[in-house]
Amino acid sequence: MIVLFTDFGLTGPYTGQVAAVLHRDAPDVPVISLFADAPSERPKPSAYLLAAYGAWFPAGTVLLCVVDPGVGSERRAAVAEAEGRIYVGPDNGLFDIVLRRAGDARLWEIIWHPGSLSPSFHGRDLFAPVAARLARGESLGALAQPVHDEQASRGWPDDLAEIVYVDHYGNAMTGLRGVLLPANAHLAVRGRRLARAATFSAVRPGEAFWYINSNGLAEIAVNGGRADQALGLAIGDRVIVES
Amino acid sequence: MIVLFTDFGLTGPYTGQVAAVLHRDAPDVPVISLFADAPSERPKPSAYLLAAYGAWFPAGTVLLCVVDPGVGSERRAAVAEAEGRIYVGPDNGLFDIVLRRAGDARLWEIIWHPGSLSPSFHGRDLFAPVAARLARGESLGALAQPVHDEQASRGWPDDLAEIVYVDHYGNAMTGLRGVLLPANAHLAVRGRRLARAATFSAVRPGEAFWYINSNGLAEIAVNGGRADQALGLAIGDRVIVES
Amino acid sequence: MIVLFTDFGLTGPYTGQVAAVLHRDAPDVPVISLFADAPSERPKPSAYLLAAYGAWFPAGTVLLCVVDPGVGSERRAAVAEAEGRIYVGPDNGLFDIVLRRAGDARLWEIIWHPGSLSPSFHGRDLFAPVAARLARGESLGALAQPVHDEQASRGWPDDLAEIVYVDHYGNAMTGLRGVLLPANAHLAVRGRRLARAATFSAVRPGEAFWYINSNGLAEIAVNGGRADQALGLAIGDRVIVES
């Protein structure tokens, strides 16, 4: 299976062209769009979102990951191997958290070159063909070469105490893994201090709370309402863990 | 075929994870998203929309239906059988209108339990696996048990004289079946009184009217414009039938 | 492959019902959504967008194209053949630019009639069944008859000096083919005069520019920002080419 993690949107041409390339190059491999609205052109919050949601897929999954504000510049094109999954995309930090959390991570630089490469759409012309080739079983060694500087740190923390995503319902995911927080921790954000609840129906209608979401992230929500609007939350907002 | 009727949105992780589960558990069954923007967390208008649009699919279709504000509470997990179609989702009224309109309806309570169940995402962990198993031919009797209280009414009318959905063009669907309205009926909404037309091109540009849409619902529209903006319409607005 | 170019949106029922018809009538043919947000009910800008993006697909592709404000009126239902691709949709100008640019273009009028035809949803009831039949190999001559008035002009120019699409990132595509513009041309729009750059990273953060996008259109963008908001751009805005 090929899983898409991008900031392309679904309605315009980008996801469709990528899907067409994947079908052309790996016609028998199913394609699933996981996120088409990853934090737009922001690799840092995207990295924490990808680490949480990519880990849900079984070993053997190829994840095509494109949040790529530096497309056309000198940033490397990369493949990350972690816990049996393969991540293809720009080497701009997007894979840093996935690599750090895996016991057996390896980073590769793509050496395969397409016949033609648009300076603004490597997702279609470079990353999708490489993802398709890996998904149909081609050797990673034929497409990329190992790199050994994966310790070069961008200084990002293990968990990110910020809002990293606001979902369709207005719930605000943080970059914090819920199981690493004290059970009685409160989250402070935008001047509000929120207690933990097991799930929505455990609090009164209209009440804000935080809980551990279905992929393990600490998430801020309002029962029957939109947390983004009720609390004024957006991607990048700082969150403080209080006991 | 498995048809999705949800309020999950398409861009974020929810539809993608559900699609991944369906592929894992029923890899040969095609999946179509019918609505990913059913009235958010509102089973009542969703029930009338589902009754109108679900009936368009052939017998044998499995509809995975998740508009589930009570996820994690004690509401039952259900399967509804109606006119050869199978509906899987929460027992919160979402299937009430489908069941009422069918000659041969049966309601079941899901007894199958997944290995792990997120308190906030039964769509992925419970309903999708059950829908996949039914779509690949497993017996309903192995997954669910009949319940016999389907007459227990929520007091909802046969047709709902409210806006139940605003589409991509700004057209506002009601919960009224068009063929049950007098041919010369007018619809009054937000202080406006609208006559019926056969279709858009039968009225002047900019004129508001109602018509019977392609799935049988009375729908309010403006030729060449957006009815939601022109008339100030939103889901839940009352509609009055006048002759 | 069947490629969708529509203004239907993806979340509501329209794309899903079309996909269900395509699966019913051509179950083995993959379906890709290229645009679900083509300029809403505006065939003219859509025609330039379709010409640029349709040409990216290989010969043999069937493109189901529905931007159809006149549905239910007397406009013809058409099939256009151009450079080995087949375009199915309303004869309202949507195919004019495709036909004009092709060396071997032919226009056909659909004579096939569905069993039932909604006056408001020919995409589902007429165009999708025809597209499916063509994609599975049925003869065009059995479904349509040649028409010989394709020279009847709507007076549209070869290239359209207007904004024809605003993408997910806020970049504004024009209907101008970039290779036909002088290399040192400037584009003037909304009182701003923009120089050309190779790609985003060639200009300073926050700077507006134009470039040739990955499908050949001259496109207005801002490095690290949204051109639509920064410059106040919308579909239909005039663009002036200055040297």
pLDDT, residue A201, reads 87
Q: pLDDT of C18-54, one tens digit each?
A: 999 999 999 999 999 999 999 999 999 999 999 999 9
Closest-CA residue to C200 (of A124, A70, A68, A12): A70
| CA-closest candidate to residue B43, choices B76, B72, B67, B65 | B67
Interface test with A, best of C29, C167, C214 (most A CBs within 10 A): C214
- In this complex, the residue of C58, C168, C213 whose CB is nearest that of residue A9 is C168
ipTM of the complex: 0.96
Report pLDDT for C103.
87
So what's the pLDDT on residue C71? 85
**What residue ranges of chain A have pLDDT lower than 70?**
150-152
> Cβ contact (<8 Å) for B32 and C20?
yes
Query: Which residues of chain B are modeled with pLDDT < 70?
Result: 150-152
Q: Of A1, A32, A199, which has the smallest distance from its Cβ to B119's Cβ? A: A199
C216-231 burial code (b ≥16 CB/10 A, e <16): bbbbbbbbebbbbebb
* 3-class secondary-structure state, position B132: helix
Q: What is the mean pLDDT of chain C?
A: 95
Q: Is the full-model pTM beyond 0.80?
A: yes
Which of chain B's residues have a Cβ under 8 Å away from the Cβ of A3? Answer: 16, 20
Instruction: Name the closest residue on chain B to residue A55, using Cα atoms.
Output: B17
Subunits next to B (3 or more Cβ pairs <8 Å) are: A, C
Q: Is C15 helix (H, G, I), strand (E, B) or coil?
A: helix
pLDDT at B72: 80
Instruction: Extract the tokens encoding B48.
Output: 């009338």
Interface check for B35 against chain C (CB to CB < 8 A): the answer is yes
Q: Residues 6 or more apart from B191 whose CB is under 8 A from it?
A: none
Closest residue to B41, CB basis, from A4, A32, A224: A224
Question: What is the predicted pLDDT for the residue at C42?
Answer: 97
pLDDT of residue B162: 98
pLDDT of residue C107: 96
Strand partners, B66: B6
Q: Which helix (H) or strand (E) holds C21?
A: helix C13-25
pLDDT in tens, C169-208: 999 999 999 999 998 999 999 999 999 999 898 999 999 9
CA distance A37 to B36: 15
